[in-house]
Amino acid sequence: VLFFSSREKKRRRIEDLTEKMAVDSGHRDGGCDWDGRWNHVKKFLERPGPFTHPDFEPSTESLQFLLETCKILVIGAGGLGCELLKNLALSGFRLIHVVDMDTIDPSNLNRQFLFRPNDVGRPKADVAADFINSRVPGCKVVPYPFIEFHIIVCGLDSIIARRWMNGMLISLLSYEDGVLDPSSIIPLIDGGTEGFKGNARVILPGMTACIDCTLELYPPQINFPMCTIASMPRLPEHCIEYARILQWPKEKPFGGTLDGDNPEHIQWVFERSKERAAEFNITGVTYRLTQGVVKRIIPAVASTNAVIAAACATEVFKIATSAYIPLNNYMVFNDVDGLYTYTFEAERKENCSACSQVPQDLQFPPSAKLQEVLEYLTENASLQMKSPAITTTLEGKNKTLYLQSVKSIEERTRPNLCKTLKELGLSDGQELAVADITTPQTVLFKLNFTA
């Protein structure tokens, strides 16, 4: 698929905006370019070659497209985001929007190099945009507003956020007579890192494997069993979880909830953890470990982010220009022992809950309680929902079976959890609509009664 021919650059809408947003129409800032500036890039856009995409046509228009028209949305201005902004800016992209709701923390400074000690406390998107715009003349990085995007690149630190983005792009797909309209596809390039490991993937929603198709690659976080924490600690981590989960809510030392970013809070947890550990002759509780457990810290270095963001930006460049065939579609990287990469084509899941358009099957006996259905939705490796809200249509009316996020409704619907599906009036083949933070569109399930 050739995405952006030089003749037609269709605009893609993320949201219907009620007010017209004044968009800088990208006037050529002729004064800021200098001789030779884009030589490194031009070789790949203006010369034919044996390995280019079959539809590639060398021309000077590609570079103009990058410089003047192509809009990129970068999600996240942290470890990967800083790297991505730099990479895109130096590859010719100028109309870049960056979204990030976070502010700058000292522990970011060992890798998020667009930020300085003076910037601590300021919003990441703003500082990142300012730095790039000043260092790369002509580049117009704009912090956060949604307009229209040709390509989306993610450097997120949460699977939920990825799934949300994934679901949103899928919801924008349009089908005519069951056939996908390619011009409604917005490519999503996704990067992730953890210590010395990382991955980069290209997702063409509706065409290639999406985030949810490969959800099993992200196994759910395992928490320690409660009985271990409460009565049988063996590791220093168990002692820390005891202080965090049991002692804090009971003693409320500083009132309110535990804030992992507050050193006083961590100190308190640290001291209680040490006491607990001493009781059981457990060694190894340190301040660093305490912070790590409470904040679920994932170790991070500049180098892994550099590698993954570089691979992602290379793919953005390929897709925007058709200079080469894009990655199809997943690359894994690990440099613990030497350097290792593995590149493969992740397959679409036939019954993916996000992109397959196939209603999901729910197999339960009529005597099963609603609680069991809820547990299935959260614990199943392919669904991994967080706090699903279940509704259905009974006697022509919309009925909420269970919803957790609104206190009054939770209280009202809680008794339903102990009722059986039969008692709730549900029949074989009934459709249940499930909403959850992991998916912007409700997922439809079909109840299939088993014996």
Partner 1 sequence: MASTKASKEQKYDRQLRLWGDHGQETLENAHVCLINATATGTEILKNLVLPGIGAFTIVDGHTVTGEDAGNNFFLSKDSIGKNRAQAATEHLQELNSDVSGNFVEEGPDKLLDNDSEFFHRFTIVIGVQLPESTCLRLGSVLWSASVPFLVCKTYGLIGYMRLVVQEHTVIESHPDNALEDLRLDQPYAEFQNHIKSYDLDSMEKKDHSHTPWIIIVAKYLEKWLSEHNGQPPKNYKEKEAFRQLIREGIRKNENGVPEDEENFEEAIKNVNTALNPTKIPSAVEDLFNSEQCKNITAQSPCFWVMLRAVKEFVHNEGNGSLPVRGTIPDMIADSQKFINLQNVYREKAMQDAAAVSKHVESLLQSVGKPAESIPEKDIKLFCKNASFLRVVRCRSLAEEYSVDTVNKDEITSCMDSPDSEMVFYLMLRAVDRFYQQHSRYPGVYNYQVEEDISKLKACVNSLLQEYSLNVNIKDDYIHEFCRYGAAEPHTVSAFLGGSAAQEAIKIISHQFVPFNNTFIYNAMSQTSATLRLLELNGNLPFADLFSSPNLPM
47 belongs to the binding site for partner 1 (CB under 8 A): yes
- SS3 string, 15-74, reads CCCCCCCCCCCCCCCHHHCCCCCCHHHHHHHCCCCCCCCCCCCCCCHHHHHHHHHCEEEE
Pick between residue 23 and residue 339 the one whose CB is nearest to partner 1. 339
Selected from 96, 269, 311, 377, the binder of partner 1 by CB under 8 A is: 311
Residue numbers 280-309 binding partner 1 by CB under 8 A: 280-282, 288, 291-292, 297-309
In the bound complex, what is the minimum distance in angstroms from residue 312's beta carbon to partner 1? 9
In the complex with partner 1, the residue whose CB is nearer, 5 or 110, is 110
Which sign, positive or negative, has the C-alpha torsion 10, 16, 17, 20? positive
- Name residues contacting partner 1, limited to 129-188 (CB under 8 A): 135-137
3-state secondary structure of 151: strand
Question: What's the CA angle centered on 380, arms 375 and 385, to 5 degrees?
Answer: 70
How far from 405 is each of 214, 342, 388, 445, CA to CA, in Å? 27, 41, 9, 20
Instruction: Give the sign of the dihedral formed by CA 193, CA 199, CA 205, CA 211.
Output: negative
324 binds partner 1 (CB under 8 A): yes
**Residue 35 binds to partner 1 (criterion: CB under 8 A):** yes
**Which residue from 67, 49, 42 is spatially nearest to 324, judged by alpha carbons?**
49
**Phi, psi angle pair for 187, to nearest 5°:** -60, 140
| Among positions 144, 196, 218, 376, the unique one binding partner 1 when judged by CB under 8 A | 196
Gap between the Cα atoms of 68 and 139, Å rounded: 10
Near partner 1 by CB under 8 A: residue from 129, 152, 327, 354: 327
Q: Which of 270, 317, 364, 449 binds partner 1 (CB under 8 A)?
A: 317
246 is a site residue for partner 1 (CB under 8 A): no
- The residue from 139, 154, 210, 227 that is catalytic is 227
Among positions 54, 336, 395, 411, the unique one binding partner 1 when judged by CB under 8 A:
336
Q: Does 221 bind partner 1 (CB under 8 A)?
A: no
For position 338 contacting partner 1 by CB under 8 A, the verdict is yes
Tell me the number of residues near partner 1 by CB under 8 A.
Answer: 76
37/422 with CB nearer partner 1 = 37
Establish if 34 lies at the interface with partner 1 (CB under 8 A). yes
Q: Are strands 188-194 and 197-203 parallel, antiparallel or unpaired?
A: antiparallel
| CB closer to partner 1, 169 vs 316 | 316
CB of 302 to partner 1, least distance (A): 4
Any contact of residue 396 with partner 1 (CB under 8 A)?
no
Closest approach, Cβ 299 to partner 1, in A, equals: 4
Quick check: 46 binds partner 1 (CB under 8 A)? yes
Closer of 6 and 107 to partner 1 (Cβ): 107
342/201 Cα distance (integer angstroms): 12
Interface with partner 1 includes 349 (CB under 8 A)? no
Nearer to partner 1, 323 or 385 (CB): 323
Query: Does 335 sit near partner 1 (CB under 8 A)?
Result: yes
Residue spans of alpha helices (H) in 69-178: 79-89, 124-135, 159-171
Whether residue 445 contacts residue 361, with contact meaning beta carbons closer than 8 Å, is answered with yes
Q: With respect to partner 1, which residue has the nearer C-beta, 130 or 431? A: 130
Kindly state the helix (H) or strand (E) to which residue 226 belongs, with its residue range.
helix 226-231
Determine contact, residues 82/128, Cβ cutoff 8 Å.
yes
Measured distance CA(433)–CA(441) in Å, rounded: 10
195 binds partner 1 (CB under 8 A): yes
**Residue number with CB closer to partner 1 (72 or 136):** 136
Using DSSP, state whether 269 is helix, strand or coil. Answer: helix
Which residue is listed with tokens 């206190």? 407
Question: Does 418 participate in catalysis according to the annotation?
Answer: no
In angstroms, the Cα distances linking 56 to 79, 91, 318, 334, 338 are 33, 18, 10, 32, 36
List the interface residues with partner 1, window 101-130 (CB under 8 A).
106-107, 109-111, 113, 117
Tokens encoding 60: 């000077």
Applying the rule CB under 8 A, the residues between 68 and 107 that interact with partner 1 are 83, 86-87, 90-91, 106-107
Q: What's the closest the beta carbon of residue 411 comes to partner 1, in angstroms?
A: 33
